[in-house]
Structure 1
């Protein structure tokens, strides 16, 4: 089977399907008499890993190679442990049993979640209920779009330069061009000083206060001093506070709803399995008493 096609199927989230596992495994690494195959690497990915993350892992040649090396080292160490009689030790046996049970229980949980995936209506209903119950979480504050010119420093020379630029602006010079030619803010100078929309609280207090004081489109501030230097601001636009429509956040809400609904069903199932458990409290206390005390 073509290896790239094999991994493409795995990356698409099909790595546990009968079709992929029916294929002959492809050896990726061989050392010391042990082999590591593509299916070993795929099986090493934790169950429940999102498809996009799984694909990213499998598409990284460096990552796949390192995983194969780690698995080879683990396999060789396991062989040495067998030869040295470690597999017969009670603690090792107990841990091996727990490891086997974890693999099987994880597989059952994946199967259970697939069997109990909520339908589209249940997901949408849950998402809309969350949206209605938390209006503050979906309220955007007022946002302001300004341009600015920054002259760095706290010297007479830097202030003098900023004052001259302000005088040019008041005389009718193009703010955006002056910003491109003179501003020392590398993030906005190339965009004519445009900072885009943001709440004033995002900026240092002196800058945010100056933003709030601009009233009308086109208004220009005086010189504003911050820890970065001297600023001149120009108001471009204000966007009032608003409640974000459900449609704009529906995808994230539905993803969260799907996860929550599945988690709730899984917890109900696992809690149901142990609801009649009888706890030997004396044995629990005895276990704690027998534990070595922590050194002070």
Structure 2
């Protein structure tokens, strides 16, 4: 497996990082006769997602770790060559499969580039999906509320909550009291603002109270939940609606691009193996080679 991964990395580097490999390689690590170059490191990084690759290139410690790993791997591969491991049929097959995996991946990337649908095709597919799946773009009604939480189930916590409720009813600023008193620190600094939420978002007692609030009745009485005592203030309500295409077009177009390319890939793969002949007997024979499970032995 070590050798097959090393070969895969090398081939991927040769196929993908063409710009980096055009320059003369610079040695970044030497151990004995083994030399690891910047091109080797870039080839290894080609296996990583672009964001991880960029972070690694900006971090000398990470690059050093990759170089030392490559050196150890290369030395192990040399040992494998010397002691005959590389000559076994199984290892040769693994090396070949690793090579084919890397080359086929790069070929598919090339295939994608030449079969990328144009903007018109992507938009047409996205709009067709939008029209055909209206329920996928329905959003429920949402209510925006703020709350003040006084944690605990003690006479003192209830008394504090009652005092705050009286102050609010007397004209005190809800947001100010929330910042100064609420035990829900995730939103206290925002004046207790919980944003817009659909029904069912909160614990039942809280949710039921929110459902009963409106512009005509914007302030709740004390609400007891497992977290303590709440005072809830209504802010706004949005009715259920269907999202307009323009609101979801970016995601739909990205998904459509992926789907159209995936369909092209599937067509390509089907075309490649359309004349394949499956040798069922050989496959069944493989299953028959599984080692038998021994019965437990009594001691």
Which range, TM-score by smaller chain? 0.7 to 0.9
With the length of structure 1 as denominator, give the TM-score of the two structures: 0.87
My pick for the range that moved more, 37-46 or 90-99, is 37-46
Aligned to 2:136: 137
Aligned to 1:169: 168
**CA distance 1:218–1:32, change in 2 (3 Å):** farther
Structure 1 residues 105-254: aligned runs within 5 Å? 105-216=104-215, 219-254=218-253
In structure 2, C-alpha distance between the alignment counterparts of 1:241 and 1:64, rounded to whole Å: 52
My pick for the range that moved more, 213-222 or 58-67, is 58-67
**CA distance 1:242–1:99, change in 2 (3 Å):** same
Would the aligned equivalents of 1:217 and 1:236 in 2 still touch at CA under 8 Å?
no
**CA distance 1:284–1:201, change in 2 (3 Å):** same
In structure 1, C-alpha distance between the alignment counterparts of 2:258 and 2:38, rounded to whole Å: 30
1:149 deviates by 0.8
1:131-171 per-residue CA deviation (whole Å, 9 max, x = no partner) reads 22222222222121111111000111111111111111122
Structure 1 residues 10-49: aligned runs within 5 Å? 16=16, 18-45=18-45
**CA distance 1:286–1:130, change in 2 (3 Å):** same
Aligned to 1:270: 269
In structure 2, C-alpha distance between the alignment counterparts of 1:267 and 1:40, rounded to whole Å: 33
Would the aligned equivalents of 1:139 and 1:242 in 2 still touch at CA under 8 Å?
yes
**CA distance 1:36–1:202, change in 2 (3 Å):** farther
1:64 deviates by 3.0
In structure 2, C-alpha distance between the alignment counterparts of 1:225 and 1:199, rounded to whole Å: 20
1:222 deviates by 0.5
In structure 1, C-alpha distance between the alignment counterparts of 2:213 and 2:74, rounded to whole Å: 68
Would the aligned equivalents of 2:141 and 2:198 in 1 still touch at CA under 8 Å?
yes
In structure 2, C-alpha distance between the alignment counterparts of 1:140 and 1:295, rounded to whole Å: 57
My pick for the range that moved more, 21-30 or 102-111, is 21-30
In structure 2, C-alpha distance between the alignment counterparts of 1:257 and 1:40, rounded to whole Å: 36
In structure 1, C-alpha distance between the alignment counterparts of 2:116 and 2:293, rounded to whole Å: 46
How many residues end up aligned between the 2 structures?
281
1:81 deviates by 0.5
Would the aligned equivalents of 2:223 and 2:230 in 1 still touch at CA under 8 Å?
yes
Q: Does residue 136 of structure 2 align to residue 102 of structure 1?
A: no
In structure 2, C-alpha distance between the alignment counterparts of 1:76 and 1:217, rounded to whole Å: 77
1:60 deviates by 4.0
Unpaired runs of at least 5, structure 1: 1-14
1:30 deviates by 2.5
1:28 deviates by 2.8
Aligned to 2:70: 71
